[in-house]
Amino acid sequence: MLDLKQIRENPQAVQAQLNRRSGDYDLEPILIRDRQQRELEATRSQLQARSNEIGKLIGQKMKAGSDPQGAAILVLKEEGNQIKTQLSELEPREKEYKAEIEGLLLNLPNLPRLSTPDGKNETENVEVRRWGDEYLPKNDNILPHWEIGEKLGILDFERSVKVARSRFVSLLGAGAALERALISFMLDCQTAAGYGEVLPPLLINSETLTGTGQLPKFAEESFRCQDDDLWLTPTAEVPLTNLYREEVLEASQLPIYHCAYTPCFRREAGSYGKDTRGLIRLHQFNKVELVKLVHPETSEAEHETLVRDAEAILQALKLPYRVLELCTGDLGFSAAKCYDLEVWLPSSGTYREISSCSNCWDFQARRASIRFKEAGKKGTQFVHTLNGSGLAVGRTMSAILENYQQPEGTIQIPDVLQPYLKREVLIPESG
């Protein structure tokens, strides 16, 4: 959530930053309601002060011996009653204005950092670096991962439609084992890097989704339990960040690093016709997520480290990838700055996103009220929150199935996964 005080005091600067994003955002409705709310608040404060004054005057006159039914007392009581009536009318209006302002603020995205490159859409993202060209596969006849997976008998999309619907998959035999091996490997790497492992709830409430920015704007992207105020988690970023909602931490507790494996659930409502085959855009997928809560002074450095922690998985697996800095037109709703890692998929001759590493600055912390207090200093500050995939497991599997594909149709297992999978090669499943 953006700072209302910042909008009020410098609306032109805030509007200029919002205009760098894709979308049409107008601060005027917030400014109008804010002025009206503050005028009501000032009027209410004046009336309340006069009401208190009348109470004191009546008490003083009674103490001095005035007749409780005398004209002087009755006039004051009448004025007091009129003020109570006015206050009873003003208070709900003020509450309504505050709720309307909050609703408007909740639909505004984060402000891009000044260092975030300008651009209209994903075509204007900036490539930062590439890694692993020496590991590009030499095989010229690489099948798409869904084809080789079905040939090997480890991916079953057709029967999964019968069980659920399209964009679901069942992993069979070595496919299920490979997914489990990747999850264990990723968690082992990230806990060794200093992240504390968490297994959070997969069902989360509306307040939790609001805290990290998925609600109210992106309700159509999530699956909701009809009979409860609970949603299936779209990413572990949401429950991990909200573990600290409405808390005041000690500065000595920062930074907080967490990692978590969870299944993730997304409707992919805006992706009709995209990636309809394979593991790239499923309604249910596994992911290892990284989340940081940090001091604002270390925020930018922590972001760079987060990216490196995600990159370390791809490097250990020897999967070629590139790092992109997202332009303002492609920036996620809650992000102030973001780097995407894109892994090479040789069957399509392109890089595809496998991790998005965002610095949300104080945007999520303001929505979720996550603060910290420094010893010896008055007041509190909002933490900065960061998140990134470390990594998306299905997309990692798809990259392995393609980059490690052998001419005879087998899959060489990356060296670092062999101790987890207890095999060196994937061959067609029997039966």
Task: Please give the positions annotated as active site.
Answer: 266, 281, 353, 356, 395
Give the separation between CA 411 and CA 317, rounded to whole angstroms.
Answer: 14
Give the separation between CA 79 and CA 68, rounded to whole angstroms.
Answer: 15
For the chain, state the CA radius of gyration.
Answer: 28
Q: Nearest Cα to 178, choosing from 427, 399, 420?
A: 420
What is the distance in angstroms between the CA of the first residue and the CA of the last residue of the chain? 54
Strand 384-392 relative to strand 350-359, pairing: antiparallel
Q: How far is CA 376 from CA 5, 252, 379, in A?
A: 26, 12, 10
**Phi and psi of 193, rounded to 5°?**
-80, 0
> For residue 381, with 0-12 CB atoms within 10 Å meaning exposed, 13-18 middle and 19 or more buried, which class applies?
middle
Neighbouring-strand partners of residue 425: 412
| Residue 330 in tokens | 């492609």
Give the separation between CA 169 and CA 65, rounded to whole angstroms.
Answer: 86
Strand 256-265 relative to strand 196-197, pairing: parallel
Give the separation between CA 100 and CA 131, rounded to whole angstroms.
Answer: 48
Give the separation between CA 413 and CA 397, rounded to whole angstroms.
Answer: 11
**Helix H or strand E encompassing 389:** strand 384-392
Neighbouring-strand partners of residue 331: none
**What are the start-end ranges of the E strands in 266-349?**
284-294, 321-325, 337-345
Q: Are 94 and 44 in contact (CB under 8 A)?
A: yes
Contacts of 187 (CB under 8 A, 6+ apart): 197, 259, 261, 288
**Phi and psi of 81, rounded to 5°?**
-65, -40
Helix (H, G, I), strand (E, B) or coil at 327: coil
- Directed axis angle between helix 174-192 and helix 145-152, to 10°? 120
Please state the separation of Cα 406 from the chain's center in Å. 38
